[in-house]
């Protein structure tokens, strides 16, 4: 069975798994990636809250290695922040293509995009070259930031076994020993770090509507 078809089956499985799998890790964390704010949240950030700064190794728009800082990006305008699972996930690839399709409109509204996954940098480079993305791709190694933002998903044993059947090796992809992934999430963050739009769904087959994202960016521009 092809991976894309396999993941359709796994998506159905994942949609019935309890949210108790979220933030289920007991591993120690560091605060180096989240502006010194190391508290682990039980629930994701929502509209109206302030997003903490995020600093991560990344691949820039020019395809070169760099460091992505949410604070620095916000100095130039609003940021569309999205968390995705990895290049092996067809739902994620479809979402990234949807972003790329709208990137010129996003930039015309004074905003930029920061997409984050736990995949190893080498895989991110391959993804960037394959899709020719014109936005920043960052690496959240060991899901440190996802964990601190309340976006960590601890894969249950049943799901792990299914992934193994379909030859999807999450630990190998991420360069860790854990079966953990970020919950797909998309935020629009205003320049004062206020969250103006939030989409979070543990069912990874569901993603944000980026036309809605454009509407929020229009509102922010008009507010200014």
Distance separating alpha carbons of residues 112 and 80, to the nearest angstrom: 6
pLDDT in tens, 6-44: 554 455 444 444 343 443 333 333 333 555 444 567 899
The reply to whether 14 falls in a domain is: no
- For residue 12, being part of any structural domain is answered with no
31 falls within a domain: yes
> Domain limits at 213?
20-155+169-223
Instruction: Specify if 4 maps to a domain.
Output: no
Dihedral angle at the C-alpha atoms of 164, 120, 204, 54, nearest 10 degrees?
A: 150
Over residues 93-104, the pLDDT tens digits come to 999 999 999 999
Cβ atoms of 52 and 81 within 8 Å: the answer is: no
Q: What is the pLDDT of residues 113-160, one digit of tens each?
A: 999 999 999 999 999 999 999 999 999 999 999 999 999 999 999 999
Q: For residues 38 and 45, is the Cβ–Cβ distance under 8 A?
A: no
**Number of domains into which the chain is organized:** 1
90 inside domain = yes
CATH, residue 95? 3.40.30.10
CB–CB of 100/133 below 8 Å?
A: yes
């Amino acid at each position: 069975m092809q991976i894309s078809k396999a993941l359709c089956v796994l998506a159905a499985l994942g949609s019935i798994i309890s949210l108790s799998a979220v933030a289920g890790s007991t591993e120690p964390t560091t605060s180096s990636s989240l502006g010194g704010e190391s508290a682990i949240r039980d629930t994701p950030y929502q509209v109206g809250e302030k997003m903490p700064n995020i600093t991560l190794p990344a691949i820039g728009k020019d395809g070169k290695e760099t460091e992505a800082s949410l604070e620095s990006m916000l100095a130039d305008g609003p940021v569309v922040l999205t968390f995705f699972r990895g290049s092996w996930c067809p739902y994620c690839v479809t979402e990234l293509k949807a972003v790329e399709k709208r990137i010129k409109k996003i930039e015309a509204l004074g905003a930029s995009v920061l997409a984050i996954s736990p995949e190893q940098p080498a895989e991110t480079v391959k993804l960037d070259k394959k899709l020719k993305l014109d936005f920043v791709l960052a690496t959240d190694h060991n899901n440190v930031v996802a964990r601190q933002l309340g976006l960590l998903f601890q894969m249950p044993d049943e799901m792990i076994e299914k992934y193994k059947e379909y030859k999807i090796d999450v630990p190998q992809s991420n360069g860790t020993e854990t079966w953990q992934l970020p919950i797909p999430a998309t935020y629009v963050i205003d320049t004062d770090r206020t969250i103006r739009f939030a989409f979070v769904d543990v069912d990874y087959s569901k993603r944000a509507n980026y036309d809605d994202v454009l509407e929020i960016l229009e509102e922010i521009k008009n507010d200014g």
